[in-house]
Amino acid sequence: MPRLLVQRIAAVLLVTLAVPALIGLGTFSDDQPISVGETSPRTVVAEDTIRVVDEEATDNARRVASESVEPVVTLDPEAQAAIVTAVRDVFRAARDARRPIAATPDPGATEPEEPATRTPTEDEQVTTMLETIDVLDEEGLRRLAQLSSSQLSQVESDLVGVAQQIARLRMSEEDMNRMVSEQLGVELAVRSFPGDLETTLVEPLIRAVAQPTLQVDPDATAAARTRAADAVEPITSTWQTGEAIVQEGVRVDPLAYEALEQLGLEGAGLLVTLLRALAAMTLTGIIAAAYLWRMQPRVWGSGRKILLLASLVTGFAAVVAGVDLLTAADSVSWWYVVPAGALAMLTAILVHPVVGISTMLPAVVLILLTAPVSAGVAVFVAATVLVVVPLTTRLSSRHELRQATLRIALASPAIALVTVAVFGPRDQLPQVVGAAAINGLVTAMLVQGLLPFLENIFRLPTVTALLDLADRNHPLLRELEQKAIGSYNHSVMVASLVERACRQIDADALLGQVAALYHDIGKVRRPYYFIENQQGIANPHDELTPEVSAVIIQEHVIDGVKMAREYRLPPEVVAAIGSHHGTMIVTYFYRKAVEAAGGGDHVDEDHFRYKGSKPKSKEAAILLVADCCEATTRSMAMHRGNLPREEIESTVDNLIEERVEDGQFTDSDLTFAELSAIRDSIVEALVGIYHPRIAYPAAEIARDAVVQG
C-alpha cells in the first residue's frame, strides 16, 4: 500500500475515532445528568474517599489569618537623621546669633571712622534665635545665649551625643515619650551639664526634636499577611467510601456537585457524546480534506503534513478533554486556558500559514462540543487563531519565534477582555483575563517545546529546522569540510548563489541555501575523484576507463541521498540532493568514451546519465543551475585568473540552454520569466567574483567543469 495512502488513513482514524474518544473521556455512564442547585434524579455513592475544598470558608479563614498579623515596622533613617539634624540646627542658629554686628557711628566725630563692630547683647541674641528656632522657649534660648563659646561647643557635643542615642531607639508613636524619658535618665546620669541646663535646655530640646523612628513597611506587612493566609490549610468537605454524595430528591449543593465532577459521576451520556463528536469531526474532516485538495494541493500531496495536522488536532482535543475534566460545569473562565493559539501557530509553522488559519474550524467545533454554552469562548478561540497566524508568516530565526510567542502571550488577555466585555459573563472578567494570561504562557511553552520534537519526527523543513541545518557545525558539513575541503568551499559558494536567486523569484531562500550546502555531501565517500579536491595529487581518473569514472562521479548523488536520509534531513533537502544534476549526462567522460569508441553509436548514453531525478521544486531547479554555473566558471577562472562579463553571460546561457533542451525543468514550476531572473542573479554574482583584474594569457580549460560539479 502506498505510503501516502497509509498516512491519510492514519489521519482519518485519528480525527474520526481518537478525537471523539477523547471528547467522551469524562463520561462514565448514561444516567440522567445532575445539575447543581436542582434536586438530584438519583443517589450517587462515593466509590472512594473524596475531598472538596470549601473555597468560601477557606478564603474567610485565610482573610482572618491575614488580618491578625500585626504591621511589620522598620527603622526610618530619615526620622533618625532628623533628630540629630534638629539639634545641630539649634546650635548653628545660636552661633549665627553671636556673630558681630555693626556698631552705631559717633555723631560727634569730625572725620569718617572705619566701620566698627560689636558683639550682640543677650537680648539681641535671643531675639535673633526666636526667628529661626521653634523647638525651645525663650528661657532655653536665653540659657544658650549665656553660654561662652567654649561652653556652647561642649554642650553641643554632649547634646548631639544624646540625640544620637535617642535616634537609635526603636520608638513608635505610642511609646516614644516613655522611651525618651528612660533614655534621658540614662544620658543625664552619665553626662554633666553646667547649671540648670538639664531642665532649661537639654530635656526640653530633646523632647521637642524627638519623633518616632519606626515606620510601617507595607511590602513586608503584605508578605507576612500573605504567608499567614497561605499557611491556613484548605477547609474541605469529605465523603468517605460508600457515603452518599447526593441523594435522590435532595437539592444538590455546589460542594457535592464538585465532588461528583471530580469522580466523573455527574451524569453524561457516553454514547450520545461519542455520536455527537463523531458526526462533528467527520464533517470537519470532509471539509478539511476538500479544502486541502482544492486550495492546498502541495499539502494534500504530503502524507507527513496531513498526518501531522491530524496529530495536532488530536492533541488539541486531548487538551480540551483535560480542561473539561478539570473545569466546573458553571465556570466559563478556565475554558480561556485552552491553547488554540498553539494549534494554529504549530500548524502555520510546520504545515502552511493558510492551513494554520483553517484550524479555526476544528478548534471551534471541539470547544462547542465540550465547553459550556458560551459564544464568548468560541469567539475567543477564533480570534486567537486569526491573531496568531500572521505573527508566524515571516519567521527567520528562533529569536523571532520567541518574540512571536511573547506577543501572543500579551495579546491573549486583551482578546479575552474584549470577548467577555461583549459576550459575558462579566462577573468572571478577572478570572477570564487571568486564564487568558495563562493561555498565552502555555501557548509559548507548547510551541517552543513541541516545535523541535515535531520537526524531527515529521522531518519538516521549517525555518527553525533549516536554521539548525545551516549551522556549519552540523556533523555532515564538518565531515565534508574535513574530507573534501574543495567540495565544501564549492557548496558554500553555490549556497550563496542559490539563496540570492531564490530571493529574486520569491522562492524559499533558506531551503535553497540549506539544500546547496548539503548537495555534495556524497563526495566524502571518494573525495579525490573530484577535481576540486585533487590539490597536489595525480588525477585517479587517468587510470580508469570513462565508463568506470562516470559511475564514480554519478554515485556521489546516490551516496549523498543515503547520507541525508541517515541523518534524517528533511525530504525536501534530500530530494534536492538527488536532483542537483537532474538526469544530465556526465559530459566529459561521455565525450571521452565516444572518442575512444570512434563514435557515439558504440556508446550507451544512458550509462553516462546521472541516476537521480529531475528537480521537482523551484529551489531544487535553482540549485541545479547554480551548481553547474559555479563549477564551470570556477574551472575557467582557475586557468585565466579572471573572466569578462560577456564570457560569464555566454557560459551561463549555454549551461541553462543545455538543461532546458534536455528537459531538466519539466517537473518543476519554473516559468521562463523566473528562469531569466535566476540567470541574471547568477550572472551578477559570478561577475562580482570573477570580474577582470589583470589580463592573463588565455589558457585552454583542462577538462569539462561538470566533472567538478
Split the chain (709 residues) into runs of 10 and give each run's mean pLDDT. Answer: 80 86 60 72 70 84 88 88 91 88 66 70 86 86 86 89 90 89 88 85 90 88 88 84 77 80 65 78 89 86 87 89 68 82 89 88 86 73 90 73 84 88 79 88 87 81 79 89 90 93 90 92 88 78 85 91 90 91 88 81 84 90 93 84 86 92 88 92 89 50 43
Please give the sequence-ordered ranges of beta strands (E in DSSP) within 65-131, or none if there are none: 73-75, 101-102, 117-118
User: Does some domain include residue 691?
Assistant: yes
Which CATH number does the domain housing residue 647 bear? 1.10.3210
Q: For residues 84 and 94, what is the distance between their CA atoms, to the nearest angstrom?
A: 16
Q: For residues 363 and 315, what is the distance between their CA atoms, to the nearest angstrom?
A: 11
Q: How many domains does the chain have?
A: 3
The residue behind cell 573534501 is 484
Q: For residues 675 and 505, what is the distance between their CA atoms, to the nearest angstrom?
A: 9
User: Does some domain include residue 48?
Assistant: no
Please tell me whether residues 483 and 454 are part of one structural domain: no
HSE-up of 562 (CA within 13 Å, CB side)? Answer: 9
User: Does some domain include residue 40?
Assistant: no
- CA distances to 362, 390, 398, 437 from 356, rounded to whole Å, are 11, 10, 19, 22
What is the dihedral sign for C-alpha 320, 325, 328, 329? positive
Please tell me whether residues 449 and 538 are part of one structural domain: no
Please tell me whether residues 456 and 565 are part of one structural domain: no
Could you list the residue range(s) of the whole structural domain that residue 502 is in?
Answer: 471-707
Instruction: Write down which residue in 411, 428, 460 finishes a domain.
Output: 460
Per-residue pLDDT, 657: 92
- pTM to 2 decimal places: 0.55
Q: For residues 295 and 38, what is the distance between their CA atoms, to the nearest angstrom?
A: 50
Please tell me whether residues 272 and 358 are part of one structural domain: yes
Element (H, E) at 694: none
Q: For residue 40, what is the DSSP state?
A: -
Is residue 623 within 8 A of residue 515, CB to CB? The reply is: yes
Is residue 512 within 8 A of residue 498, CB to CB? The reply is: yes
User: Does some domain include residue 63?
Assistant: no
Element (H, E) at 237: strand 236-239
What is the dihedral sign for C-alpha 187, 193, 199, 205? negative
Q: For residue 201, what is the DSSP state?
A: I
Give the angle subtended at the CA of 596 by the CAs of 594 and 598, to the nearest 5°: 65
Please tell me whether residues 179 and 288 are part of one structural domain: no
Please tell me whether residues 182 and 278 are part of one structural domain: no
Q: For residues 414 and 393, what is the distance between their CA atoms, to the nearest angstrom?
A: 22
What's the residue count for the chain?
709
Return the closest-CA partner of residue 268 out of 23, 563, 634: 23
User: Does some domain include residue 263?
Assistant: no
Per-residue pLDDT, 678: 93
HSE-up of 33 (CA within 13 Å, CB side)? Answer: 12
Element (H, E) at 634: helix 618-640
Q: For residues 433 and 420, what is the distance between their CA atoms, to the nearest angstrom?
A: 9
Per-residue pLDDT, 43: 73
Which cell numbers hold the place of 666? 519539466
Alpha-carbon radius of gyration of the chain: 44
Please tell me whether residues 416 and 521 are part of one structural domain: no
User: Does some domain include residue 311?
Assistant: yes
Please tell me whether residues 446 and 555 are part of one structural domain: no
- CA distances to 204, 296, 301 from 3, rounded to whole Å, are 99, 19, 11
Please tell me whether residues 445 and 483 are part of one structural domain: no
Instruction: Write down which residue in 177, 199, 216 finishes a domain.
Output: 216
Please tell me whether residues 430 and 479 are part of one structural domain: no
- CA distances to 251, 295, 462 from 40, rounded to whole Å, are 6, 51, 54
Is residue 350 within 8 A of residue 460, CB to CB? The reply is: yes
Give the angle subtended at the CA of 476 by the CAs of 475 and 479, to the nearest 5°: 85
The alpha carbon of 16 is separated from its chain's Cα centroid by a whole number of angstroms, namely 33
Instruction: Write down which residue in 184, 216, 248 finishes a domain.
Output: 216
Please tell me whether residues 183 and 292 are part of one structural domain: no
User: Does some domain include residue 389?
Assistant: yes
Which cell numbers hold the place of 441? 504562557
Please tell me whether residues 546 and 676 are part of one structural domain: yes
User: Does some domain include residue 703?
Assistant: yes
Per-residue pLDDT, 105: 64
